[in-house]
Amino acid sequence: MNTFASLNGKSAIVTGGSRGIGRAIVTRLRQHNVSVLFTYVQAREEAEALCAETGALAINADAADPENAAMLVTHAIETFGQIDILVLNAGITRDRVIWKLLEADFDQVMATNLKSAFYLIREVAPHFRERQSGKIVTVSSINGLRGKGGQVAYATSKGGLIALTKSVARELGPKNVQVNAVAPGFIETDMTRAASQSVRDIALAETALGRLGQPQHVADAVLFLVSDLADHITGQVLQVDGGQLT
């Protein structure tokens, strides 16, 4: 029996879908017959390859621009007829201790990781309210829960994403819209492969399962949260960290 058969024929927007966790999310959703429109900014070749591989649609758009966010929601509705799922995955990092962190870098991280989520949720909320249905999942981080030295901008943006998730869950709950977050630990992606070996060793030592996570682990958590299995779950943060933060 296909546990996620309820996803068949639904449609989704996924931000930052061309690589890493986003790519795994797009792939998982397409495997369960969800029509997907995903965004990318720079990784054009990877985006085109993913479209060819999965049948998803890609659009070069930075949702940190409110006009792009509005265009993206309008385009998805025109293409699919409706939106059922919004996954806010786009994220960057500019790691510096606070006395070396440039304001421009802080602003860029906040715009990509947090403001883009705000813009897209604001745009899709009327559609979900009218239909009295919808699933929103934000991709945060355990560092948004605990803080992290050297990641002031990143951890702040991810903590803000959790607060945004919980607040919107309360606002949209009466209209049968579930809003949740996943908080990955150290996941093997292009972003984390740039980390030093000492950082990787610390993360591994923290992890109860004794192994680092893979993008598909996060994608599976997202798949659960956007399915009917999670219809009575909202305002929650699901840690996908192998016990890194316990």
94 belongs to a structural domain: yes
Owning domain of residue 120: 5-239
**Where does the pLDDT of residue 102 fall: very low under 50, low under 70, confident under 90, or very high at 90 and above?**
very high
245 belongs to a structural domain: no
What residues are labeled active site?
A: 154
Q: Helix (H, G, I), strand (E, B), or coil: what is residue 171?
A: helix
**Where does the pLDDT of residue 3 fall: very low under 50, low under 70, confident under 90, or very high at 90 and above?**
confident
Q: Which alpha helices (H) appear in the chain, and where do they start and end?
A: 20-31, 44-54, 66-80, 103-110, 116-131, 143-146, 152-172, 190-193, 197-206, 215-226
47 belongs to a structural domain: yes
53 belongs to a structural domain: yes
Quick one: angle between helices 116-131 and 152-172, nearest 10? 10
77 belongs to a structural domain: yes
The residues, any chain, with a CB within 8 Å of residue 92's CB and separated by 6 or more, are: 108, 109, 112, 113, 191
Q: What is the CATH number of the domain that holds 73?
A: 3.40.50.720
The model's pLDDT over 59-74, given as tens digits with 9 standing for 90+, comes to 999 999 999 999 999 9
Is the pLDDT score of 194 beyond 90? no
Amino acid letter, residue 18: S
The model's pLDDT over 25-72, given as tens digits with 9 standing for 90+, comes to 999 999 999 999 999 998 999 999 999 999 999 999 999 999 999 999
pTM: 0.95
CB-CB neighbours of 222 under 10 Å: 27
244 belongs to a structural domain: no
**Where does the pLDDT of residue 190 fall: very low under 50, low under 70, confident under 90, or very high at 90 and above?**
confident
Of the chain, the percentage scoring pLDDT greater than 70 comes to 99
202 belongs to a structural domain: yes
The model's pLDDT over 105-121, given as tens digits with 9 standing for 90+, comes to 999 999 999 999 999 99
When divided into structural domains, the chain yields a total of 1
22 belongs to a structural domain: yes
**Where does the pLDDT of residue 93 fall: very low under 50, low under 70, confident under 90, or very high at 90 and above?**
very high
Count Cα neighbours of 158 within 13 Å in the Cβ-side half-sphere. Answer: 28
